[in-house]
Structure 1
Amino acid sequence: MSRRTDRPKGMRARRGRNGAVTYYLLCKDGSKLVLGQNFELARAQWVQEQQSRVALIRPATALELLHGIEQCSLPLASRQAAARRRSEIDTLRAFFTEHGDPKLEEITGEDVFLRWYGNAVRPGQPDSAIRMFRLV
């Protein structure tokens, strides 16, 4: 069975004797969390599991939250969309790193980000990066 490129990180599949594919999540301790046989429902369960893992960690800074967003994100089907997401996250990572990885309570608004974005030579408008900033 070939690997599905739209399968999230850590999601595995096993074909049973009856030919049905069962999806599961491989945990860090080596155990398996069965996600079911429906791929779409398994993806939804994968997201819920990742969100609960991030909630347990309780990100306190902007960079920790960005890592949590990356951890919970499903793979994108389009290379262009994946590249755009990577660019957005890299832009935000550069901004928050330059500003000392602020605590979440210290992030007040997007005006500082827009000034920072405008002062640097960057291609295009900050539309997609500002949408990602608003998520943070």
Structure 2
Amino acid sequence: MHGRCLYYSAIVAPNAGLASYPEWFPVILHVHQEEIPFGTTEYAEQSAETQLELFPTLLQTEAAQPGPVTKRRPTDGEVEAIRKAAGKRWEYGIEMNPFQRPGQRPVPTKLPNVPNGFTVRVVGK
């Protein structure tokens, strides 16, 4: 897809659990390759931090050995794009979501755990 006209301007994934579901891994790689603005929300700040630790690992893994993360053989252009993305210094961000649903989720934890409680900037400003 690198270099083609894209028909979307951003991806938003509320409470997606990016680090918990491997189905998100190809999406994470793609948005980094194409620099597509992407944001998500998380229930807990700790979960958001775990996601931010995952992104560079995914990029480096796919750059070192193309194909294991996406489970398919990437084209030469995709390999070049992922290696470029893996070498870039990304600035991720976590913030409290001012539009969260108020109130603690009924889970056995003492940590703040709120639907859409924290925003995570994956790619974009």
Question: TM-score interval w.r.t. the shorter chain?
Answer: under 0.3
Task: Give the number of the structure whose residues are more often helix, by fraction.
Answer: 1
* Structure with the larger RCO, 1 or 2 (CA within 8 Å, 6+ apart): 2
TM-score (norm: length of structure 2): 0.27
User: TM-score, length-normalised on structure 1?
Assistant: 0.25
